[in-house]
Amino acid sequence: MQKPLIFVTNDDGISSPGILFLVSIAKQFGEVAVIAPDKPQSGMGHAITINSTIRINKTNYHNIAIEYSCSGTPVDCVKMAVNKILPRKADLILSGVNHGSNSSINVIYSGTMSAAIEGALEKTPAIGFSLCDYSIDADFSQAKQHLEKIISETLNHKLPNGVCLNVNIPKLKNDELKGIKVCRQAIANWVEEFDERQDPYGRPYYWLTGKFVNFEPESADTDEWALANGYISVVPTQSDLTAHKSIDHLKKLLQ
Amino acid sequence: MQKPLIFVTNDDGISSPGILFLVSIAKQFGEVAVIAPDKPQSGMGHAITINSTIRINKTNYHNIAIEYSCSGTPVDCVKMAVNKILPRKADLILSGVNHGSNSSINVIYSGTMSAAIEGALEKTPAIGFSLCDYSIDADFSQAKQHLEKIISETLNHKLPNGVCLNVNIPKLKNDELKGIKVCRQAIANWVEEFDERQDPYGRPYYWLTGKFVNFEPESADTDEWALANGYISVVPTQSDLTAHKSIDHLKKLLQ
């Protein structure tokens, strides 16, 4: 039997420690191919490149046959892989491991998760992994056995049509991790503060900064609760943004 | 009583015909402020600028007091408006009118709609408008009375918490428009084809192109059906991506 084909991408760039770790795990489960951004693409959400061109270049970070850096976004990487590069349909798409959390509302800003959602749109089981640790020295190995379990179960059982997984890992040692919790996305938001500075010519410019606010810290069925209580959170994630419960109300107002 | 404050942005750029038209309508309903991208930002999805700085510059396209172009994405424009520029909380956020459709799956790639979703996250009623006509000479005025109705009802009745509206307008004359239909996002996708070319130095580069596929053209409760049948589609839209129905199934597999 042919080994599963596993496509790996991320948003931190093709040589980041997180994707090196994820590729090393993926190799245990099948043949691995990588197309990932040639530079950091954090916060790119579901952006695609339509106003400029895309380039790809062969690389040798992962010691595999199909391995390219891409000038585009994480979603571009998935589209390029699926439609141009992969020799056959992938059995699994993995994205990450991201350096930093993609829980709750972060999912819509996240290039890592947008790549996984794009995978689900392509009808391929897909998982985005993120470690809640922004440090360049972050230790991705602590949750290794849990990641292997999630990958193995997804390969064996697939995922519901159009659904991918948003996996976030708390910054804890292996023996402190309490296990895996399947949850929903917490209702949360960022309160932005723009850091205003002056360039050497006296003109203002801004850095986007902000403070994360969880509006429901007590809700034990959310990803934020799971992470705060020592669990790896797994949120099944999809791309229908319709607010179905509001349809009837709006029909009365507008039709 | 103070006039409503209406914030307007888009993804085609601050001087595009679509936003000029939308600002002219918004002025009928209140005081208008504009912060919009200084260049086209189509396909930027929910991208935010975190790896570089943001600049804003005063402009004079709309003849209003608060009017800035912004170097960032549509979502950056909303964050900048809400947290830095507007004198008080906006009563309404409008995005568009986009040159081209943002129906069904296009919502997740759309800078126009991401600005509206960001508005809903900021707890402000928000509407994204798109005209299904990519032409630079597109006639935005045909649906004027319907747009005025949608804006008026939203100002008078607000929207459910966290919900914004995705309004798409078919390319039809005023007397051909059948009215407004509140619907859900159709299940659809793009099948990409990368247009491969060679630069003058013999190196390949790619343009992302694709063919739109509606997987349920017969479903009369979808936005694609409404548009194909002469209606303006209104989809209530929100930012919870959780696949709630898959949670129990995944608990059995992973916990």
Summarised one tens digit per residue, pLDDT across range B146-176 is 999 999 999 999 999 999 999 999 999 999 9
For residue B8, pLDDT over 80 is answered with yes
Q: Is A98 helix (H, G, I), strand (E, B) or coil?
A: strand
Give the pLDDT of residue A1.
Answer: 75
Best residue in A69, A169, A242, A255 to probe B by mutation, most B CBs within 10 Å? A242
Give the pLDDT of residue A163.
Answer: 98
Q: Do the chains contact at A241 and B237, CB–CB below 8 Å? A: yes
Q: Do the chains contact at B237 and A237, CB–CB below 8 Å? A: no
Averaged pLDDT, B196-207? 95
pTM: 0.95
In 3D space, the residue among B35, B48, B26 whose CA is nearest the CA of residue B118 turns out to be: B48
Query: Tokens 């995922």 sit at which residue?
Result: A159
Residue type for position A78? V
Whether residue A57 lies within 8 A of chain B, CB to CB, comes out as no
Residue ranges making up the domain that contains B175: 5-185+220-254
Residue type for position A53? T
Whether residue B87 lies within 8 A of chain A, CB to CB, comes out as no
Count of domains forming chain B: 1
Give the pLDDT of residue B2.
Answer: 87
Point out the residue among A73, A182, A192 whose CB comes nearest to the CB of B79: A192
Point out the residue among A40, A189, A205 whose CB comes nearest to the CB of B55: A205
C-alpha to C-alpha distance for A244 and A228, rounded to whole angstroms = 30
Q: Do the chains contact at A242 and B250, CB–CB below 8 Å? A: no
- A46 found inside a domain: yes
- B70 found inside a domain: yes
Instruction: Name the minimum distance, in Å, from the CA of A40 to any CA of chain B.
Output: 8
Averaged pLDDT, B192-209? 93
The string of pLDDT tens digits covering residues A159-195 is: 999 999 999 999 999 999 999 999 999 999 999 889 9
- B133 found inside a domain: yes
- B203 found inside a domain: no
Structure tokens at A238: 């999809």
Give the pLDDT of residue B129.
Answer: 98
CATH number assigned to the domain comprising residue B47:
3.40.1210.10
Best residue in A103, A121, A182, A212 to probe B by mutation, most B CBs within 10 Å? A182
Q: Compute, in degrees rounded to 10, the torsion defined by CA atoms B120, B48, A107, A42.
A: 180
- A203 found inside a domain: no
Low-confidence ranges of chain A (pLDDT < 70): none
C-alpha to C-alpha distance for A80 and A84, rounded to whole angstroms = 5
For residue B1, pLDDT over 80 is answered with no
C-alpha to C-alpha distance for B10 and B18, rounded to whole angstroms = 8
